[in-house]
Every structure is written in structure tokens, then in C-alpha cells.
Structure 1
Amino acid sequence: MTKVGFIGLGIMGGPMAANLVKAGFEVTGYNRSRAGVDRLVAAGGRGANSVGQAVRDADAVITMLPDSPDVRAVVLGEDGVLAHAREGALLIDCSTIRPDVSREVGQAAAAKGIQALDAPVSGGEQGAIEGNLSIMVGGAAEAFETAREMFDVVGATIVHVGGPGAGQTVKAANQLIVAGTIELVAESLVFLEAHGVDTGAAIEVLAGGLAGNRILDRKAPAMVRREFTPGFRVELHHKDLGIVLQAAREAGVVIPLGAAVAQLMAALEAQGHGALDHGALLKLVEQLSGRGQE
């Protein structure tokens, strides 16, 4: 599969599409705002003025969109992907959406003779730029093998986790773990600062022990500096935790710590910080501790 139509060229989709171009794929991209398309063209890809133009001749269509309604509209809409993609094409949705919507999309694609994979990713903007994302893939094993060459370009850990919707279920678990870890790192940093400890030295030693994790490695230094330029926005993680809570309720699973973190993320969003990086949970911990900084 050499011709790729890429829909959604934002923080994650843009670098992923550019990496596919570098690897020799013929990528035609579409984005709601023109800036994402222009960046892809500058990287050697092709720009499209509509979803139909991007996907019409594609062997594979990759979507990277914000939420379930966006995927429904772009894929299932009257002028969407399925209305224009050719029979036999492969649809790979890398968005993070509800598992039931992924299954709905897969069924609609199959009715059009198109195989579909739900393949959400983890690793943030830097992982997308470096091409070392973790990709959890749901769908048919045959379709997974067909897509493997593309996955190898944008990801480092690529696992077929089950049938339709399984990728989104694993991604929900990922978002639960990430949110909980960021919250604990935020609480730890405020705790350390309150005691006058050198946070740089503390992060170094904590990262080398059992408390070590990628949030400490990738997020903590910027959190200490109060730099919250988004690698992953609060508003998106708030949305993802809503997916987690709904899926947990449907399965009859109790997630008390996850529910608490979801409420904290919701509070941060409600305070107008939705466009900040999710490391801004630190701001909320400071506020609750009476130690907020302007």
C-alpha cells in the first residue's frame, strides 16, 4: 500500500503523516485548518481541499481526529471517507474514541468492502515526531498485517490486541494510567517544593528507582518550570477520561481512583485551562494546597 489519504493533521497527525512521506509513501492530507495541510506539503506530501480528494485514490486512509462525533462525521458522513474511498481500501482510525463507535465504523466500512482497524496511539507529540509511538490495534489480523509497514514507520511498539474496538479499550486503559500518574507526579512536585527540596535532584533519583516512569522523564521538568505548552491538551484528556468512565460503567467495573482523577481533570477544564498540556494538573494541586502561582 503506497498511496495514503491522511485526515487530521494536528499535533499528532501532522508528524505522523510527515514520517510516512519520509518513508516513501505518497501521502495526500486534509485538515479543517489549512495550516496543517501546508505543513504536510512543505514536508513533501500533497494537499487536499476535501475529504473526498484526500481519500479517493488511496490504498489506505488514516484518520486522526479529536473525538467520536468527529470520526462519525468524517467517516460516515454524506461526503465522508466511506462515500469516496474505493472498495478494497484499508481504513485505519488512530483517533481516541469510544470503543462502541469504533465497532460502528468497522461495520459500516465492511458494508462498503473496506477493512477497518481501530489503532489509537500513545506517546504524545514527541513520540509522533520521533516515530516511536505505542500503537494498540483492534480489528482483523489480516488487516493488521496489511497495515504493518505503515505502523512500523510511525510507531515502535505495535501490538494487535484483539477484534474491532479492542484497540480503543486498551487506549482507554492507557489514558487512565497516564492521568493517574500525572496527578501523582504533580502532587509529589508540590510536596517536594513545599519542603524546599531541589526538585531537579529529586526527579533524577526518583526516576532511577521503582517510582520511575515516563511522566517523570518527559513531563516533570516542564511541570517544574510551569511550562504547559500542549503536547496533549487537558480538554482531550478530559474527553478520554469520559470514555473510560462510560466504558467502565458498561462493564460493571469500579475505578475509584480513576473517577477522582477524572473529576480533577474536569475541574481544570472548567477553570478555562483546556488548551494547556495535561501536566497543568500541577496548577490544580497548587490551588488546592493554597500555593498557586500567578
Structure 2
Amino acid sequence: MSRKIGWIGTGVMGGSMCMHLIKAGNEAYVYNRTKSKADQLIAAGAHWCDSPADVAANADIIFSIVGYPVDVEETILGENGVLNNVCPGKIIVDMTTSEPALAERIAEAAAAKGVGALDAPVSGGDLGARNATLAIMVGGRQETFDEVKDLFDVMGSNVRLMGAAGAGQHTKMCNQILIAGTMIGVVESLFYAYKAGMDLNEVIDVIGSGAAGSWSINNLGRRIADGDFNPGFFIKHFVKDMGIALSEARRMNLALPGLALVNQFYVAAMAMGHEELGTQALYKVFEKMNG
């Protein structure tokens, strides 16, 4: 069934995700702060909109995947944002990795206007977005989720409602905490292999298929081996995510020393000027440390 969908944020992941929905036969209304990043979607038939408000006025289900919580707040709750310009009965789906408390606030404000709201962050990086194999973790009401599920299935291969508003974001924090620690293991393992004179791809062939196997070693490890540090997920956004997780942990009176340690390595990567590179560029910090 063709739907009128809105899409705000057409970057590394958002562009591919929206393209899948267009190719599935949906009519798309798109907005991005840099219009050129939406050129491929427009060429595929998407309608350009000049603001989030314009998207909200034209679409029935409005998706957003932007950078930071402040961007989410402006996009959805701002004066020229989605919620102030949307009609009752429509649905807002924020797929940004953001703060659970903000997701709850959006859901409350949306409900007061008779609008559905879901927080639906994703995992899988640029590859998952391009291949439509994302894990999509959703918070919100069951009936709202049911209305959007067919669209989620176009973008991802593992879609699950995790609970009430904010539950999607909490699940994504669990995801990021696990990835953060795993990435330390990936870069230390491969830097050890490099210093030992091993072929990194051959090492990954072996350890990636055993007990040490993970998405990070088999995907981002390959990029390290090939000297490819282009972003599938920006370091600056991962630092943002770890900051949210650490803040939530403090609120719950929970110590996460492993995450705090990894966060420092990524902050060091930003200080070295690598904030626009992919998370696998953590390897460059270990190169610098070890000469």
C-alpha cells in the first residue's frame, strides 16, 4: 500500500532509508538542511520541502533522522517544526539516536494533539541502511507501531517494539554501550596483528568466524585493514551517543567504567581532528599512542 511519507535528514543513513521507501512505491516529501544531499531522492521522485513544517503539512507519516538531541527538539518541537504544523491522526517517527527523556516528551506533546509518536533508533550503520538490514528498536504505543510496521520492514530486517515511549532509545543505549567496548577490542586486536607482521584481512578471516566474531570485526575491521576510515557512522555522533548513555547511567546511579574509558579514547580521536571519520578511526588513536 502506497503511503504519503515525510523524511527529514537525508545523510549517510537517512538517504538510503528513504530511498528504500520510495522504491517500495511510497510518495515521499523530503527536507534536509543541505538540499544537495537530497538530490538522489528528488531524482527518484521525492518532493522537496523547504522546512520540517512543509514536510508535516504534506505527509501522513513523518520520519526524522538528524544529528543531535537539540536537532531533534528543533525539528519536531520547534516553532517551525513538525508537531506545530501537523494534523491530528498523523504519526511522527524519530529515528535519531537521542535522549529517552526527549522521546517521552515528544510522545506526550504529540498525544495532546492527537498525533502518534514513535522513537525508533537503528543499528547497522551505512551498510545496514543501504542493504535494508537495519535493526530497528522502537518505543511507543502498540497501535501506532502496527500502523508503521510495514514501512519499518522495508528498511530493516529486525524490527521490534521494545516498550513505551523512550524504550527504543534505551535499547539503542544498550547497543552503543556494547559496541563501544567491542571497538576497543577490535582496534587493539588488529593493531597487535599489524605489529606482529600479520595480514589483517587473513586474521579477520579466522578470528571473525570464531568465538571472537562480531559485526564490528567483520565489517569495520575490514575497513581498518583496507585503510578506509570514511564514515559509516561518525565519531562525533558516537561521542554524542556515549554521552547520552553516561548521563542516563548517572541518573540511574549506575557505574559504567568500561564505557567511560572508551569515551575518553573517542574524545582523543576528536581532539586529533577525526570527528568526521568513521568509528573505525579509533584505530588512529592507537597508532598515535604506539608510534
Tell me which interval the TM-score lies in, with the shorter structure as reference length.
over 0.9
- Percent identical among aligned pairs is 39
Amino acid at match of 2:66: L
- Is 1:230 aligned to 2:231, yes or no? yes
Determine helix, strand or coil for the equivalent of 2:67.
coil
Contact 2:52 2:75 in 1 (8 A): yes
Conserved? CA contact 1:238–1:262, under 8 Å: yes
Q: Structure 1: how far apart are the matches of 2:290 and 2:38?
A: 44
1:133 aligns with 2:134: yes
Name the amino acid aligned to 1:262.
N
Q: Secondary structure at the match of 2:273?
A: helix
Structure 1 residue 110 displacement after superposition: 1.0
* 1:105-116 alignment runs, 5 A limit: 105-116=106-117
Q: Which deviations, in whole Å up to 9, do the C-alpha atoms of 1:120-152 show, x marking residues without a partner?
A: 001011111111100000011111111101101
Is the 1:37–1:48 contact (alpha carbons within 8 Å) kept by the matching residues of 2? no
Deviation per CA, 1:65-120: give whole Å up to 9, x if none: 10100010111111110111111101100000011111111111111111100000
Q: TM-score, normalised by structure 1?
A: 0.96
Residue 65 of structure 1 is matched in structure 2 by 66
Secondary structure of the 2:138 match is strand
**Alignment check: 8 A CA contact 2:51 2:80 kept:** no
> Aligned residue for 1:159?
160
C-alpha distance in structure 2 between counterparts of 1:195 and 1:57, whole Å = 58
Deviation at 1:226, TM superposition (A): 2.2
Conserved? CA contact 2:4–2:61, under 8 Å = yes
Amino acid at match of 1:249: R
Secondary structure of 1:5's aligned partner: strand
Deviation at 1:44, TM superposition (A): 2.2
Match of 2:6 in 1: 5
Give the paired residue count. Answer: 290
Contact 1:58 1:86 in 2 (8 A): no
- Which stretch of structure 1 is more off in the superposition, 205-214 or 48-57? 48-57
Q: Which residue of 1 aligns with 2:245?
A: 244
- Secondary structure of 2:58's counterpart equals coil
Query: In 2, distance between residues paired with 1:227 and 1:288?
Result: 20
Q: Tell me the alpha carbon deviations over residues 222-274 of structure 1, each in whole angstroms, 9 at most, x when there is no partner.
A: 11232111111100001000011001111112111111001111111122110
Q: How does 1:28-107 map to 2 (within 5 A)?
A: 28-107=29-108
> Is 2:178 the partner of 1:177?
yes
Bigger Cα displacement from structure 2, 97-106 vs 219-228: 219-228
Describe the SS at the equivalent of 1:49.
coil
When structure 1 is superposed on structure 2, of 138-147 and 218-227 the one drifting more is: 218-227
Task: Work out the CA distance in 2 between the residues paired with 1:66 and 1:227.
Answer: 23
CA displacement at 1:37 relative to structure 2: 2.4
Q: TM-score, normalised by structure 2?
A: 0.97
| Separation in 1, partners of 2:234, 2:187 | 16
Q: What is the Cα deviation at residue 8 of structure 1? A: 0.7
Counterparts of residues 202-221 of structure 1 (less than 5 Å): 202-221=203-222
1:193 aligns with 2:198: no
In angstroms, what is the RMSD of aligned CA positions?
1.0
**Residues in 2 aligned to 1:70 and 1:190: alpha-carbon distance in whole angstroms:** 36
CA distance in structure 2 between the partners assigned to 1:115 and 1:37 by the alignment: 26
Find the aligned partners of 1:119 and 1:267 in 2 and give their Cα distance: 30
Alignment deviations for residues 7-59 of structure 1 (CA, whole Å, 9 cap, x no partner): 11111111111110001111110000011222211122221122122121311
Write out the 4+ residue segments of structure 1 that deviate beyond 2 Å after TM superposition: none
Partner of 1:14: 15
AA aligned to 2:280 is G
Equivalent residues of 2:29, 2:58 under 8 A apart: no
Q: Higher mean Cα deviation, 230-239 or 198-207? A: 198-207
Q: C-alpha separation between the residues in 1 aligned to 2:88 and 2:254?
A: 39
Separation (CA, whole Å) in 2 of partners of 1:138 and 1:72: 17
